Every structure is written in structure tokens, then in C-alpha cells.
Amino acid sequence: MMIKRYLPVLVLGVSLLAGCATGPGGPVYVPSGQAPADAPPPPETDTNREPERASEQSAPEQEATRPKPHHQAESESLSPAAASLVNKADALLANGDTRAAISQLERAQRISPRAGKVYFKLAEAYYADNRLGAAEQFTLKGLSLAGSSTDLQRTGWSLLADIRRAGGNVAGAQKAEARAQAL
Amino acid sequence: MRRMKKSAPKRRSNGKSNKKRPASGKSGFRSALWRICWRLGLVGIVLLAGWTVYLDAVVTSRFEGRRWEVPSRVYARPLELYDGAAVTAAGLSNELSQLGYGKVRSATDRGSYSRAGRRFEIHTRGFRFPDGQEPDRRIRFEIAGDRVTGFRVTSGPQASVVRLDPEQIGGIYPAHKEDRVLIQLDDMPEHFEAALLATEDRDFYDHWGVAPLSIMRALWVNLQAGRVVQGGSTLTQQLVKNLYLTRDQTLLRKGNEALMSLLLELHYDKPEILETYLNEVYLGQAGTRSIHGFGLASQFYFGEPFNDLDLHEVALLVAIIKGPSYYDPRRHPERVLKRRNLIINMLADNGQVSLKEANKARQKPLDVVSKPSYSNARYPAYLDLVRRHLAREYRDEDLQSEGLRIFTTLDPGIQYTTETAVERTLTQLERGSKADFKLEAATVVTSRDSGEVLALVGGRDPKFAGFNRAVDARRPIGSLIKPFIYLTALSHPDRYTLITPIKDEPFSLVFDDGRRWEPQNYDRESHGLVPLHQALAKSYNLATVRVGLDVGVDAVIDNLQKLGVGEPVQSYPSMLLGSVNLSPVDVASIYQGLATSGFNTPLRTIREVTDADGESLTRYGLAVDQVVDPAAVHLVQYAMQEVMREGTGRSAYRYLPEELGLAGKTGTTNDGRDSWFAGFSGDLVTVAWVGRDDNGPTALTGATGALPVWSNVMSQIPQYGFSPIVPADVQYHWVNSEEQALTNENCSEARFVPFITGSEPTDTVNCSGDFTQRLRGWFEGIF
């Protein structure tokens, strides 16, 4: 009985752990490590020698202190510089100049390549240009970067529903709509 | 007989007249001579008239029909500056220097910059990009921790992001190798016309193409100066010589030159002739490429647009006209300095510049950029790839003559870093070795999310325009194949998770024809049951082949092709150990998909091609295509990060900071013939190959050959670490891999591992290894 009582708590604990799966942190900006001259030499190998059948790995090193693999749940936001280009693209798009808008959005993408929003904007521009295949793919890319942001996910799924409907894929649109509504 | 009879009287009659001639006297002789001269003269006039008509046709048809064959220009990516931009101070200084920006105290002029420690002020030049004109601006910012901070525009239109003009990295030239940048009369900088006419053709606006007085005057000036200061040919004559004639110094050519000059002047007005001259005149040589026209010459000598030149630069260009080789400012700086100052003096004497201006200009150095501002020899491997991409849509003749502008994705800073890292690491690898062979290498660096090729090194000598290993060296990829095998397996969460135990034990396959295949581990040892993530991190062959055979070779090939392998792959079990031949660029292409949650992102070297007027012809925009399950890719990314932390790639952190998240995979083929490393950070996908051109053995593995090259490259580029976003249908759990069970975070064996939802273990084990969940289930069964 007691165990049954604690079961939901255990399950909740496990799901909370999963929910907090942010690993050792988001992407870290790392300045260039060293001047070329400071680079350590590679391990010495006698390139004339017959290759040893020892191990493909170099000798084990201390790994206890090594950070574990990274991952993150939070999506990244647009940098102010990228946001200014997105604004420019919005204005161009409002004037019907989709080609110029896409150019500006690609500049923004180079500045904030991991921000889901920039891909949704690209999807909108391709949608406006009636290139629905590309629009759908950029939406999927944006969704892959939406992380735990409900807003971004809703934007993405709703956009996908519109794009699919415009392309005549009613079933796909309904599926996407359902995902948006479930959030 | 008859003929003889007939001819005899004629001879006689001739004899008679001959006898009479002395008697007729001098007047008869004169009149005969006159008649001959008259006839000859008449014939001469007719011939001359005919010749003139012919020359006239030549002059007009070729002048009017003249279409400059303007080579295509290839540009690097423009450097974008904004708050947060990843730039090193050294890299920026280097880029500005390559662009020909002068370092000054205060950046008042376009194309100049000042630097005080970390603080920069740049007066950008402005440039016409395919998406519009980027105006010139003055900007200020600091560089701290390899990032731009405090960015602001102090003059010019406000903007949060400013682009510098892009570096020209090459051109695509016609067979005759004439290179030019077309200019118009409006582009002439101040004092240029005065300097040109004072030196080359004082009476340009008054003569009819030929100026005998000018010849006399030049003779006089030259005699006075004791050397040749002025030429006697008019600009029109010089143009005619360049356009239509050979360089032979014959009387006939001189005559033609004069005649054609007159005809040219008859048909065309002075501005037309002058503009053509400005674009035609030969002004230097860069290897086989000849530099024509002032537009290109100002780029070639000063790295600046023609209309930005100052008096001392204007005078230098005019000084060179007389003999581009004799007055080559890079080879004979003192000689040309004297002539430059002579021209400045001449302008001052004529009152065309003030004495003060002249004095100031004379004090200035030549200001010639040390190297030509661009040369095709600088990035031959990259340009080779650009040309291959262009060849899909453009004809050679159009590329060579239409003056197209090709905007590429090359990042000159990363290219330089990659080139030096390759050469330095190979030298270190060879140091102390008695090897009688030379190691070679190829490296590709791409932008992770856009697929733009940022740098390409085709060999250890980056200036060598021969075999491009990055594109053409198709070698077996060895263990680089393994992530794709595990990707295929992990796409079946009902069968495989990262902790699924895999048998790493010997086995043999017997084919229908009786042949046996017995794969082995690199260390020829087996490791018993190992969790899947470890089999990949440690690159165990036996475990991998078992998994590959279980999911099917064809399924693995299918994934490879979805991710960008264009050519057919033989469906043999040995492909599971990497007997697939790919080039470093091909590898970068398929690793792009692993780095970006299963999106096939075609590699691009070109962003856009425009015509000479800046009108867009072709855009090569960003394209993405989700081809494999992002959840399965996330799991593979986890194991590839483990490669770097605990597996075959861990030595990378000898070079790289611990906090930089990385994922990658080593690859080694039999006898160390190929040493590979492919991996990525948050921003970059980089692939390195090291081996021998003769495909001979080396003692290298992926970890000791290619990985040092890779790490050296990555360690010098400021970037974001790799930290993938968890897909919606993936959840992380603390597990004990060995026990295949969930466990407590604090247990020593606990590992935080991603699972596709529903595939996580159901059992729970405590730190001492007891199965609490199983016990609980048992208890629950009882009650």
C-alpha cells in the first residue's frame, strides 16, 4: 500500500528530472583558445614505422573532471542585430518584396543560426512567395530549435498547418493544428 | 614560225624609237618621267584611298562593336560587424589590411581605420551588394573576448549591422588574360585628368588625333630634362596602338597609327575616346594576368577604388603608363617615385595644383599595397570548388567575359587559420620521423546551420593549384561511417537505445561463394557486452558490424544517401567498416545532417551571382530538408559528444578549452592509410583528412593524425559550443547502462542519457545495484 502511495511521487520525480534535462548548460561562447604558436604539438608518431596494432585511441586520460555531453531545453532568442534585420525583412515582406526579404533573413540566420524564430520568418517569406516546400522545411527547422518554448512551438505548428493547408495537405494540416492546440 | 614573223617588226619598230630618243632631248624624258610619276601617284592615291576606306571600316566596326571582355570577379563573404559579432582583433586587422584599408590616426577617409588597443574606428567604403547598396559609414566599437562590443555608427545612416566591402579573392579570366574593372569618366578622381593630359597629351582636346607640335614639344622637353619625360604620341595614337596594332616599330605601322588616329577622331568625340583609353591602357602584370585600365590598376596597386585616389596616387598611376614594367612600383620604387614627383611638379608648375598640395603629395610614400590586393593564386582549392559549382549553370565564355560578380561564402580569416594549422600540424607530425614520404592533408570548414563552406584546404601547400584533395581525394572513410550505422539503429527505439548491450565479440560471415569475412577490432581485442553509446564512443568494430548487419546494410546506405551521398554505394558488409570512398567535402556534407538534427543542408560556396550592373542572376539561398528522425540524431549526437569526452576524440581537449562542447568521430583505414576526423561545435562542421598521395601506410590513426589538425583549426576560431536542443519526443533519464535500468543521479554509475520517449528502461536500480523497481513490481504483485 505504502509503495503504491509513493509510486506517483516516484514517477513525478523521474519526469521532473527529464523536464529539467538541461545538462551542463546551453551553448557557451568560447573565444579562440590560443595563438597559433601556443598550440601543443600533436603526439609524436614515427610515420616511417609499421603501424602498431595497438589501439585507435591514445592513452586514456583523466576523464573524471570532464563535463558530460551538452544539451538544452531552452530555445535561443534572436540577437538584437539579427532582430534588426528581421524587422527590415518584415518591412520588405509587407511591400511584397519577398526576394529581398529572404536576403535579409539569411543575413539574420547567419547571425543567430540557432534561433528558431529566424526559420519561422524564412518560412513566412517562402510561403508568401508560394514556395510551400521550402516554407514547410524551414518551419520544421524552426520547430527543431523551439525547445521547451510553448510560444515558439505554437507558432511553428500553426504555421505548418497553414502551409500544409495551402498545399492541399489537409490531413497534415489537421495534425499540425492538433499539435498547436495541445500546447 | 608565224609568231616569230609577227614579233620581228615590233622589235624593229622599238629599235627605231630607241634610236630616236636621244634626239628628242631632256624635255621628252621629263615628260615621260612626269607621266610615270603621275600614274604612280594616281595609283598611290587610289590605293591610299582604298586603304583608308579599309582602315576606316576597321576603326569604326571594331570600336563600335567593341565589347570589353570583362572577367568575372569572385568575392569572399563580407565581414558583418555588430554587437556580439565573433571577431578577433588580429583577425580584423588582417582583414582590413587585405581590403587595403589604411591604418591612420583618425579614420576620416573612406577605406581607413584607426586602432587603439581593443578600440577600433573604421570608415567603411560602401559597396553595392546584390541586395542593395551598403553606404559608407564611420563605425566605432571594441573587441573584448573575441567579440564586438559597444558598436555604434558615428557617421552615415544608422544601422545595427554594418558590412565591410568584401575582399576580392579571384577572377575568371578570358584566354588572353586581360583583366579590367570598367570605369566611366565620372569615376576620375580629382587631378587625374590634369595629370594624365599634362604628361601624355597636352593638346588632347585640340588635335585631330595626331599632333606634330606635341612631338616637337616632347622632343624639346626631353632634351632639356636629359631623359624621356614626355611622349610624342597622342592619347588617340596610344589607344589605336593598343586596340588595333602590334607593338612593332615599323614605318608602315606608324603610318597606319596616324591614319587610324585621324579616322577615330573623325568618328568619335573626345570623351568617348578618353573613356576607352582609361579602360584599355596596359598598366601592369600579375603573373599571366595583364592589368588593363585605371579601374583595375588602382585596385591592383592601392587596393582602393579609382575614384578614391589621392593626388600622390593619381600621379603614380600616370607615372606608370610610360613603362609598367620599368616603373613597376613594387620592383622599382625609387625609380617610379622620382617620376611620380616629376609629374606632381609639372602639375604645380602648370598651376593645376597648389604648391602646398604638391609639397604634401611629394612627401607621401608610394602607398602601394605590398601584395596585389588579390590574386587567383591565393585560394586555388576554394576557387576550384566555386568554379565547379558555377559550371552547373554558367558557360565558361560568359564567366570569362560578362563581368559577372560572384559572391562566395569564403571566410578569409578561417581560411588562413585552417591553412596555417594544416601546414604546422603536418610539420609537427613529420618532425623526428625518418619517413621518406610526405604527409598530405585536406580540410573543410563549414557553417553548421547554413552549410556555407567557410574554408577549404586542398593540400599542405595551399597556394598549389593542382590536385584538390578536399574535393578529388576520394578515400575510404573508415570509422566515420559508424554514426550512420547507429543512427539507423536508433531510429528503431523499440530495438535500440543508447544503452542497449551490444556484443563486441569476434564472428565470421561466410558468403555464398565460400569467402569468409572476419572483422576485427582495431586493437584485435574483444570487449564483451558493451552499451551502444560506448561502442560508438570507443569505435568498436565488432559491435558496430553486428548492429549494422542487424539493421541492414541497405538501410544504412539509404540514410547516407538521404544525407547527401550522391553516388551509389556498394552494398557489402565491409561498408559497415567504412569501405566507402568519399572526399572530405562529401564527408562534411553528410556530417552536416548529424550536426543539425537530421536536416540535409546542401553545402554552398556561392550566395549569389549578379551581372556587371549588380542585377541578380542566380541566388543560391539557404535550403534545408529534414531527411532523418531528429530524435534519433539527438541520440547519436550524445554518443558523438562522448567520443570527445571519453572516447577516441578525447585528445582534442589538449588543444581546446573544456567548456567548448564538441561532437565528432575518428576514422582510420587499414595500415593508417587514411586518418580522418569529422566533428562539429555549435557553429562549425569541420572535416580533416591526413594521409599519403600514394595511398601508402602511415603509423597514424584518426586520433593522432587528423584530430590534431582538426583541433588546431577549431582552437583558433571563436565560436559557440555544441549544445543541441532536446527534441519534443526525447527525454533524459539517469540510468545505469550496465544494468539497463533507471537509477539515482547520485549513484557512481549514473549517466544522464537521452531516450526516445517510451524506450527508456522500466526497471530501476539503486546505487548498490539492487533492482528496486523490480522488487516493487514483485511486491505490488503480492498485494
Which residues share a beta bridge with B503? B529
Residue B7 lies in a domain: no
- Partner-chain contact A144 B630, CB within 8 Å: yes
Name B504's bridge partners.
B528
Q: The domain that contains B355 carries what CATH number?
A: 1.10.3810.10
Does a structural domain hold residue B337?
yes
Backbone angles phi, psi at A102, to 5 degrees: -65, -40
Q: Which residues of B touch A50 (CB under 8 A)?
A: 697, 699
Cα separation of B156 and B122, whole Å? Answer: 12
Domain presence at residue B419: no
Q: Is residue B334 part of a domain?
A: yes
Whether A141 shows a pLDDT value over 70: the answer reads: yes
With an 8 Å Cβ cutoff, are B650 and A61 in contact? Answer: yes
Task: Write out the three cell numbers for B519.
Answer: 572483422
Query: Is the same domain home to B593 and B669?
Result: yes
Q: What percent of chain A has pLDDT over 70?
A: 67
Instruction: Using CB atoms, pick whichever of A17, A23, A85 lies closest to residue B161.
Output: A85
Q: In the listed set B114, B133, B166, which residue is the last one of a domain according to the structure?
A: B166
Q: Are B615 and B748 within one domain?
A: no
Give yes or no: residues B100 and B187 share one domain: no
- Which positions in chain B touch A34 (Cβ < 8 Å)? 655, 715-716
Measured between beta carbons, the chain B residues lying within 8 angstroms of A16 are none
Question: CB distance A71–B754 less than 8 Å?
Answer: yes
DSSP element (H, E) containing A146: none
Domain for residue B2, yes or no?
no
Give yes or no: residues B613 and B671 share one domain.
Answer: yes
Longest dimension (CA), chain B: 161
Do B120 and B237 belong to one domain?
A: no
- Residue-level pLDDT at B374: 56
| Whether B647 and B773 share a structural domain | no
Give domain status of residue B36, yes or no. Answer: no
Q: What pLDDT, on the 0 to 100 scale, is given for residue A34? A: 55
| 3 state SS for B572-612 | CHHHHHCCCEECHHHHHHHHHHHHCCCEECCCECEEEEECC
Residue appearing with cell numbers 616603373: B327
Per-10-residue mean pLDDT of chain B, 783 residues long, equals 36 42 65 85 85 79 71 94 95 91 89 94 94 95 96 96 93 78 90 93 88 76 70 84 70 77 88 91 86 90 87 95 92 94 94 94 88 67 91 86 92 95 93 80 97 95 85 95 98 97 93 88 91 96 96 96 92 93 96 95 95 91 96 97 93 91 95 95 97 92 95 95 94 92 91 96 86 54 47
Return the CATH number at B98. Answer: 3.30.2060.10
- What contacts B411, CB < 8 A, 6 or more positions away? B76, B77, B454, B455
**Closest Cα to residue B545, out of B565, B572, B567?**
B572
- Whether residue B680 sits in one domain with residue B532: yes
Contacts of A44 in chain B (CB under 8 A): 431-432
Q: What is residue B478's DSSP assignment?
A: G
Thinking of the domain A80-182, which architecture would CATH place it in?
Answer: Alpha Horseshoe (1.25)
- On whether any CB of chain B is under 8 Å from the CB of A8, the answer is no
Residue A109 is nearest to which of B431, B450, B716, comparing CB atoms? B450
C-alpha cell of B381?
582549392
Nearest to B692 by CA among B669, B705, B674, B667: B674
Of A31, A56, A84, the CB nearest to B161: A84
Which amino acid appears at position A135 of this protein? A
A1 in contact with B, Cβ within 8 Å: yes
The average pLDDT across A152-180 equals 96
Q: Are residues B339 and B434 in the same domain?
A: no
**Alpha-carbon distance B455 to B99, whole Å?**
18
Q: Is the pLDDT of residue A11 over 50?
A: no
B600 in the same domain as B473: yes
Instruction: Give how many domains chain B has, as a whole number.
Output: 4
How high is the pLDDT of residue B229? 60
**What is the per-residue pLDDT for B529?**
95
> Which chain A residues are closer than 8 Å to B522 by Cβ?
53, 55-56
Determine the 3-state secondary structure of B440 from DSSP.
strand
Catalytic residue IDs of B = 200, 479
Whole-complex ipTM = 0.80
State residue B53's pLDDT score.
Answer: 81
Rounded to whole angstroms, the Cα distance separating A115 from A109 reads: 8
Q: Which residue has the cell 562549425?
A: B684
Q: Are residues B299 and B433 located together in one domain of the fold?
A: no
Is residue B313 within 8 Å of residue B302, measured between CB atoms? yes
Residue B379 lies in a domain: no
Interchain contact A38–B (C-beta under 8 A): no
The residues with which B502 forms a beta bridge, in sequence order, are B530
Write the residue in B88, B417, B659 that is nearest to A30 by C-beta: B659
User: Range of B651's domain?
Assistant: 425-715
pTM: predicted TM-score of the whole model, two decimal places: 0.81
**Does residue B162 sit in the same domain as residue B188?**
no
Mutate to test the interface with B, among A7, A56, A112, A118 (most CBs of B within 10 A): A56
CB B622 within 8 A of CB A125: no
Asked if the Cβ–Cβ distance from A44 to B432 is below 8 Å, we say: yes
Q: Which residues contact B564 (CB under 8 A, 6 or more apart)?
A: B586, B589, B590, B592, B593, B600, B602
Q: What's the one-letter identity of residue B513?
A: D
For residue B67, being part of any structural domain is answered with no
Q: Which helix (H) or strand (E) holds A127?
A: helix A116-128
